[in-house]
A and B are shown apart, each in its own frame.
Chain A
Amino acid sequence: MALLLFAYPQEIYAQSKPPLEYQVKAAFLFNFTRFVRWPSLGGGNSPFVIGIAGNDPFGSYIDDLVNGERMGGHPLIVHRYTESDDMSNCNILFINVADIQKLKAILAQVQNLPVLTVSDADGFIKAGGIIRFYKDENHVKMEIKPAAARAAHLEVSAKLLQIARTDN
């Protein structure tokens, strides 16, 4: 938390902030860009898209967080999807959907695409998701399924795997 406060004081100072838990998660989403390698990100200035499917828990906080940041040559943007949207062009997809069927439908839509799927949902890994956030003694932790990442042609840094719980 302190990390965010001090790293971006101007941007967030006067804003309405999400709960601490989601501030941390927003930062984690941003940090994934450094520990995961995507096979190809398209040409030119095509944006690197962090997508949010379902309820947006971050508000403008995440927009400010990625504002001006780049992934390689690609500017980072946040895109919010409705269930009916085509989500295949996003690179990281945070899925915040309570209904497991809907979640599975969204996962099916990006199946085998280089999209890093992330969610808080309990059965997310089982449903075919790649990274799940969970809480342990008030700390946000991660569970990663490397097989799912491989299926999506994503290369996850061993360092990330080292600090996360893995499910093979």
Chain B
Amino acid sequence: MINKSSIQAKIMSAILLTCTIVLLLLCSAFILFEYLSYKKSVKDNVSTLARVIAGNSSAALAFESYSDAREILNGLKNNPHIESACLYDASGHVFAVYPDTISRKKIPPTPQTDGYKFSDNALVGFEPVRQEASRLGTMYIRSNLDQMYAQLNNLLLTSGCLLVGLLLVTYLLSVLMQRPITRPIRAFKDGVRRISEEHDYSVRITQTSQDELGSLTDAFNHMLTQIELQNETIGKLAAIVESSNDPIISITLEGIITSWNDAAERTFGYAADEIIGKSVFNIVPDERRHEEAEILARLQRGESVEHLETQRLTKNNRLLDILLTISPVKDQYGKIIGASKISRDITEKKQEERRKNDFIAMVSHELKTPLTSTRSYVQILLAEARKRNSDAFIINALTRTDVQTKKMTHMINDFLNLARLEEGKLQLILRVFELQTLVEEIVGDAQFLTKNHKISFLNCDHIKVKADREKIGQVLMNLLTNAIKYSPKGGEITVACAIDNQKAIISVRDQGVGIKQADQQKLFERFYRVENNELRTISGFGIGLYLVAEILRYHGSKIQVESQEGFGSTFYFSLDIAQE
């Protein structure tokens, strides 16, 4: 109850309570003290009286004067509080009693130890009767405590009145005294209420005192300034988020959506108030659910996810291609409490890419048909020329034409494969073949492309692998053309086979310019070309090694490179050995 009441009430209660307790303690102590002194005074009075009466009655006891004894005892009449008294003779027998009418039963039959004690709402005493040094008997006296109680009652009444009066005064004083404390607090409270009701953080509270409350007001005003500044910043940030063209949403670690910007509304079709508080799975297509679960797991570990290409489902059940960037959101203690997701709708871009790939595929296909017939005719011409022993120039020209058309076929095949790869349509035709024959074939074709280089192969006999023969041929051809291109000064190029741990390892080593450490990582990316003035003149599209890497990836293998600048490179990969 105390906690709910106002500060004013609390201060007044505190003052009143303190005063009440102090006054009560004071009164209690006073009353106790008075009670004890009343008791002592009753005891003193009664014992004095008893001593006088006992002294006077010695002769009456000594000389057995019953009437005198009675008369002396009747002297007690002056004190109305003496209820009874009696004299015992030296042998302890009752000699005379007071008052005359009292029943003997109310008088102790024999004297007890000398002295006085309070018992049974009365003071009871036994006083020795002496003359000179001799003991002649004992006097018994019993006094009620009415007088003491009457005094105590008076005291209680007075104390009570005083207490009530003082508390009244205290109350009035506390009303006056709490004002200087509560007035600024109430002003403060009113100010704070105005701010919280009107959300106007430009209001400042007037400082009315220089005490702790003054400092509090100062601090509060300072805080208001900070809030204003922060609101401004937050407003700016919110505006940025709201005006972003990319959907930005935030979720909890459980996947519950907590914010949803305009772009999200436009892209996914859900209004903010209909989706906030619901699960993020509303916009995740069923086949991507496992992916989202994994993302949430990664977030909980504090990892962020960048540039994830995935798909989202709009309210109208339309599938969108999006590029997702997800970062964990932490609270002020650094604990991860959720995530922000920035999506970029790349549906258009994807479609564009698809159209481009279709175009490349179509062009490649269209180019391939005339090239194939051109090549056939060149080969027929070359065979005829050799048969008729034509002159060397014709044979040479036709041979070169044949090699160039072959090279062009390879290039067109590369583009076709690239387009298929992009669309995910690349298919492997796995079969068992002799590595030796393939290597022989490709090395033979490659040797036709160069006169400066000597291409050899070793240790490839008797190895049978299971792979897509045509595509592995393409891999080898690409690696060899690459080796030729990047060893402009010529030299030896060696294709070597080896068996290691049930795998056939195939390596292509050149003595060319080598590859910088920094470039080795990016070498297998699409359209990547090493930036090097020395190599500017070397032609190429930057798709060769990308295709190599992708084809090997499809085989469950991986292209690897070891190289030192100026000392040549070695590319190698492994293939599964065919089980007999």
Contact = CB atoms under 8 A, between A and B. Distances in A.
B91 A163 contact: no
B63 A31 contact: yes
Contact of B59 (A5, A6, A141, A163): A163
A162 B89 CA distance: 19
A41 interface: no
10 contacts: A6-B90, A6-B91, A24-B64, A34-B134, A35-B62, A139-B64, A141-B65, A157-B131, A159-B60, A162-B59
A31 B60 CA distance: 11
Interface string B82-110: 00000001111100000000000000000
Interface string B59-76: 110111110100000000
B174 interface: no
B211 interface: no
Given A159-B58, A160-B59, A34 B131 contact: yes
A31 B90 CA distance: 13
Given A6-B90, A7-B90, A157 B64 contact: no
Scoring A2, A31, A35, A140 by chain B CB atoms within 10 A of each residue's CB, the highest score goes to: A31
Interface string B438-449: 000000000000
A7 B64 CA distance: 14
B51 to A, nearest CB: 14
B265 to A, nearest CB: 122
Contacts of B8: none
Contacts of A35: 59, 62, 131
B63 A157 contact: no
B56 interface: yes
Contact of A34 (B62, B68, B89): B62
Interface in A112-163: 139-142, 157, 159-160, 162-163
B63 A28 contact: yes
A41 B134 CA distance: 19
Given A34-B131, A157-B59, A163 B89 contact: no
Interface of B: 56, 58-60, 62-66, 68, 89-93, 131-132, 134
Interface string A12-45: 0000000000001000100100110000000000
Contacts of A142: 63
A2 B91 contact: yes
A157 B89 CA distance: 20
Nearest to A37: B132
Interface in A26-81: 28, 31, 34-35
Interface residues of A, number: 20
A31 B62 contact: yes
A35 B56 CA distance: 12
A94 B249 CA distance: 137
A3 B91 contact: yes
Contact of B89 (A2, A28, A160): A2
Contacts of B62: 31, 34-35
Nearest to A6: B91
A163 B63 contact: yes
A163 to B, nearest CB: 4
A107 B59 CA distance: 26
Given A2-B89, A159-B59, A163-B60, 20 more contacts: A2-B93, A3-B64, A3-B89, A6-B92, A28-B63, A34-B62, A34-B131, A34-B134, A35-B62, A35-B131, A139-B64, A157-B59, A157-B131, A159-B56, A160-B59, A160-B63, A162-B68, A163-B63, A163-B65, A164-B63
Contacts of B56: 159
Contacts of A6: 90-93
- The 7 A-B pairs at the shortest CB distance, nearest first, are namely A6-B91, A159-B59, A163-B65, A163-B68, A31-B62, A34-B131, A34-B132
B66 to A, nearest CB: 8
B196 to A, nearest CB: 96
Contacts of B91: 2-3, 5-7
Nearest to B89: A3
Contacts of B64: 3, 24, 139-140
A26 to B, nearest CB: 13
A3 B87 CA distance: 13
B105 to A, nearest CB: 21
A75 to B, nearest CB: 15
Contacts of A159: 56, 58-60, 131
Contacts of B60: 159, 163
Contacts of A7: 90-91
Contacts of A5: 91
Nearest to A142: B63
B63 to A, nearest CB: 6
Contacts of B65: 141, 163
Contacts of B134: 34
A141 B62 CA distance: 12
A7 B91 CA distance: 6
Contacts of B131: 34-35, 157, 159
A7 B92 CA distance: 10
Contacts of A141: 65
B39 to A, nearest CB: 32
B90 A3 contact: yes
A31 B89 CA distance: 14
B432 to A, nearest CB: 146
Contacts of A140: 64
A162 B69 CA distance: 11
B442 to A, nearest CB: 153
A35 B65 CA distance: 14
A163 B91 CA distance: 21
Contacts of B66: 139
Nearest to A31: B62
Nearest to B93: A2
A162 B92 CA distance: 24
